[in-house]
Amino acid sequence: MEILLNGARVAVKPGQTIMQAADDAGIHVPRLCNYPQLKPSGACRLCVVQVKGARGLVAACTTPVADGMEVETDSPIVADARRDVLDLLVSNHPLDCFHCEACGDCALQDYAYQYGIKEGSYVGARRQVEVDDSNPFFRIDYEKCVLCGICVRMCDEVMGYGAIDFAGRGFTTLVSTPYGVSLNDSACVFCGNCVQGCPVGALVPKSQVGAARSWEMKKVRSICPYCGVGCAIDLHVKGNRIIKIEGAESPANHTLTCVKGRFGWEFVHHEDRLLKPLIRKADAPRGAVGREWFEEASWDDALAVAAAGLARVKEGVGPDAVAGLSSAKASNEENYLFQKFMRAAIGTNNVDHCARL
């Protein structure tokens, strides 16, 4: 199949939408409500394109390609339509980009710049809703919400919880929980996938507020340490400190994370975190567990003490007096080596794993 895309012949796949075909051809079609993990909704209307023979403009994200279709993605009439949509959005949007945590990483800001929208031309009443700061992980600024529906569809289509949906009509429409209860009292599990999908500054991790601008952070690819699934994550780091974590694309998680993977990282910078091995002092009473009875040591010295203790128990009591507990925070390869060490070197099958059940 072929279509004529901005005057060029482009091969397309059956079942693709115009937006997908344009993406494959390296042509960006503006969007606010489209997200890779979600079904197209055509809600924001920024992706409208001109199709020869069609009545009016069509949404690129929901319109399937057809053989021989002729499409213009940025004709004058298309550009004017997008300016009108952006004008409507900006007219009901706080223009506090200097202080917005999404500044530099905001799709609305980027498109307003691209199409020359400096301020909204529609005057009158504006949405005025207090910021919801009640949950422990992210802040909700309803005035910045563009009603793209990504958060609603993410919670419903992908996570299956349905904790939020649109409430109200017309000008008073908001994303809300059933009966307007707090997220803390709803079905929300605080996975934060809605936060990552938000194209503006309506949903922001609390750890980022006042901590860093988007251009000050660098991304460091890593693996979530909490279980054996192996979810890929991006650490957003400033000055060697983690500011926030987002899910990254991998076969294991496709950018999704759970609440622990996205928000449970503050232990990294905790003042009580052990940064060096500890060994028990020679004068420590038997069974003493307080920090004062331990001293810092090198890895070689700590491993030597551990090896000597294991050898002493194995020779004095027998290998079955030793047991090993492995962790899902270690890689599969590390867990394999651990069980092999227990079985081959120590000589016991007393091996268990925290994620076994």
Which tens digit of pLDDT belongs to each residue from 271-316? 988 889 999 998 898 888 888 999 999 999 999 999 999 999 999 9
CA separation for the pair 103, 310 (Å, rounded): 55
Phi, psi of 50 (to 5 degrees): -105, 120
pLDDT for res 324: 96
CA separation for the pair 180, 188 (Å, rounded): 13
CA separation for the pair 202, 133 (Å, rounded): 12
Task: Please tell us whether the domain made up of 216-273 is placed in CATH 3.40.50.12160.
Answer: no
Cβ-contact 214, 206 below 8 angstroms: no
Structure tokens at 83: 């300016």
Phi, psi of 145 (to 5 degrees): -70, 135
pLDDT for res 357: 61
pLDDT for res 170: 85
Cβ-contact 353, 335 below 8 angstroms: yes
The SS3 assignment for 274 reads coil
pLDDT tens per residue across all 357 residues of the chain: 999 999 999 999 999 999 999 999 999 999 999 999 999 999 999 999 999 999 999 999 999 999 999 999 999 999 999 999 999 999 999 999 999 999 999 999 999 999 999 999 999 888 889 999 999 999 999 999 999 999 999 999 999 999 999 999 888 899 999 999 999 999 999 999 999 999 999 999 999 999 999 999 999 999 998 887 889 999 999 999 999 999 999 999 999 999 999 999 999 999 988 889 999 998 898 888 888 999 999 999 999 999 999 999 999 999 999 999 998 778 888 999 999 999 999 999 999 987 776
**Residue in this structure with the two tokens 């928000």, named with its chain if needed:** 263
* pTM, rounded to two decimals: 0.86
Residues of the chain within CATH 3.10.20.740 domain(s) are 1-122
DSSP 63: P
pLDDT for res 287: 82
pLDDT for res 291: 85
Residues of the chain within CATH 3.30.70.20 domain(s) are 129-210
**Rg of the chain, C-alpha, whole Å:** 27
Contacts of 226 (CB under 8 A, 6+ apart): 258, 260, 261, 264, 328, 329
Contacts of 276 (CB under 8 A, 6+ apart): 296, 297
**Residue in this structure with the two tokens 């060029």, named with its chain if needed:** 8
* Region of 115 on the Ramachandran plot (φ > 0 left; ψ -120 to 50 alpha; else beta): alpha
pLDDT for res 89: 96
Residues of the chain within CATH 2.20.25.90 domain(s) are 216-273
Closest residue by Cα to residue 13 from 4, 26, 24, 5: 24
CA separation for the pair 114, 206 (Å, rounded): 29
pLDDT for res 310: 96
Fold (CATH) for 129-210:
Alpha-Beta Plaits (3.30.70)
CA separation for the pair 251, 200 (Å, rounded): 27
CA separation for the pair 91, 156 (Å, rounded): 29
pLDDT for res 257: 96
The SS3 assignment for 3 reads strand
Query: Between 3.10.20.740, 3.50.50.60, 3.40.50.2300, 3.40.50.720, what CATH number should domain 1-122 receive?
Result: 3.10.20.740
